[in-house]
Every structure is written in C-alpha cells, then in structure tokens.
Amino acid sequence: MQLKTRHWDRTGNGGLTFTELGFGTAPLGNLYRAITEDEAQATLTRAWELGVRYFDTAPLYGLGLSETRLNRFLRGKARDSYVLSTKVGRLLRRCAPDESRDTIGKFFDVPARREVYDYGYDGVMRSFEASLERLGVDRIDILFAHDLDVFNHRSQAALDAKLAEFMAGGYRALLELREQGVITGFGAGVNEWQPAQWLAEHGDFDLFLLAGRYTLLEQESLASFVPLAQARGIGIVIGGPYNSGILASGPKPGAFFNYDPAPQAILDRVARIEAVCTRHGVTMVDAAFQFPLRHPAVVAVIPGGQGVAEVEANRRAADAVIPPALWAALKAEGLLRAEAPVAP
C-alpha cells in the first residue's frame, strides 16, 4: 500500500506533494545517543522502501551530521522524487574538538563545530549555502527559520529581540529566495504555537513546522493559530507527534515529554488517554500519529526514527484503522478539544 500524500500550493508556483508520513532526521544527528553510519543509512533506506518521500533536517542536528548523512543517502535519487526541508538561524563554526557544542546539548559524538545564532540577512544566506553543500543538492524545497521560541531563547524579551533581528534581515532573504524560485516555500520551525502565530500575522509565510504543540496530548493551538493558518492557506508540518516520546512509550517512569522527563500531571493525562485507546482496541501511538492529520491544514507528520524498527512502527501507525468511536470517547472525557477535527 502506498503512503497517502497531500499537495500544498499556496502561491501558485506548483507547490509540493508531501507524503503524510515524513522523516524527521534529528535522531540521525546522534540525538540522545550516537548511532553508526551504517545504522543511519539502513534507517533511511527502510524509510524510502516504506514510501517516505519527505525528509526534514537542520544544521542543529548533530552539528551538520544529519545533513551529511542525508547527502550520502539522497545521492543518485532523482531530485523531483522527494521533498526536502532544512533550517536557518544557526551558523556552524569550526572549533577544537573539546569546544564542540550544540545549543541544546543533546547531540553526541558530533563534528568539531559550534553553533552561533544568526537570523540576519547574511546569516540566513550563508546558512542556506552551507546546507546546500552539506546536503549535496542543487535546491532545497523549504527553509524554516529554526527555534524562534522561548524554549530556546529562554525569555520572551530575548525571543522578541531575535524576532526583530529575523524580520529585519532573515525574512527578507527568504522572500528573495522564494521570489527567485530557489526555494518553493519558507516558514519557521518552532516549539511553541505563539511565535508561529506572531510570524503569520507579521509576514507572508508558507509553512510552519510545529513541534509537539498540536498532538493527541495538546491542542491549545486550535484556539487561534491553527485556524489562522488554515484561513491563509499556510501548511503545517507536525514534528514531535509523540511529544518527545511519551505518546509512544506510554506513561512509564522516565518517559520523555518536551525533551525532559515528564511531570506527574502529564503522566496522569497520558495514562487516561492510553486507557481510552485500550478500551477501543487502538494502540496509543497509532492514534497519536493519525490525530494531527485529521486537520486539513496539516500536510505531513514527521516522527523521527533512530532505527529500522522505529521507522517500521511509524509506517504501521500511518496505516492503522482508527474507529470514530475513539475520538468521540476522548472528547467525552475532556481529553480532546471539542472543535478538533477527527473525520478521516
């Protein structure tokens, strides 16, 4: 069975066709643990065999390692046979091995580089050119301004300064690249819906990659951002559909939520969601994958995969049949917002 696809064309430039199941390549940058080159290539190969044709990466992911691993994998594949997105907002600088550092401190055994935030015009252009080199391609379909959120910049005041820097420089660079046809679309990849909404209200954006904020566990973004995106034809890519792991692992001790061990309130809520899924004969991870795709603004869901087994599990989730009664029961127990779309 082929993966379902969704076509997006906001500006009339031909748009892009996404497989609903995409591949988020942060794990290929040795997120949380190092994997070998052979493991990375086997994982990508299995994803391709299973029909995945949308790949998202970023300079952050392993300080360029994810992009270079994609380079090896994509070499020889027809450029029109897949959709590729990467990100701007961080530049990689060479450094001594003992000074190598990523800004979130969660990548291991990475190249000797340091990250520097740069959302200015020149910084975005340099980041784009460097990604083309690392990826070994002649074009990138989507550029996302990366991590313009409080989670990464630690305070609203610091984020406001970065947003101002981006809108004064990097945004203009992205507009030029789109107008020149060098990229098909641009947007931002963020961990919070509020800055995505602010950007949508202040610029001409095509797509947003929203990590973890429209999931089976969280739907606050339905109050304003998601309807705004839908009204403007802005596509939404959902990253982190399992909220960093807890919707896949279940509410076990030490389960991850938002990149850290889940607090008790989250463990309790996930336990309630899992209980409803079990009553309806549904695996929670399957429901978690499929829920965001019930919204017409969502063009793809991109769980990560650090091994063949995880990729195969994501494909099973994409193919699972979810009874409508599950969604009704979750709404009846107050675990899904009443306005959340659930029709296939």
Q: Which of 56, 141, 149, 286 is catalytic?
A: 56
Residues 186 and 178: beta-carbon distance below 8 Å: yes
Residue 61 among the catalytic residues? yes
Query: What CA–CA distance (Å, rounded) separates 259 from 261?
Result: 7
Residue 87 among the catalytic residues? yes
Of 289, 184, 166, nearest to 239 by C-alpha is: 289
Residues 274 and 250: beta-carbon distance below 8 Å: yes
Residues 117 and 89: beta-carbon distance below 8 Å: yes
Residues 214 and 236: beta-carbon distance below 8 Å: yes
- Structure tokens belonging to residue 211: 């990590």
Q: Which of 54, 87, 147, 162 is catalytic?
A: 87
Q: Which of 61, 171, 214, 242 is catalytic?
A: 61
Residue 147 among the catalytic residues? no
Residues 187 and 144: beta-carbon distance below 8 Å: yes
Distance spanning both ends of the chain, measured CA to CA: 17
Query: What CA–CA distance (Å, rounded) separates 26 from 305?
Result: 8
By annotation, the residues acting in catalysis are: 56, 61, 87
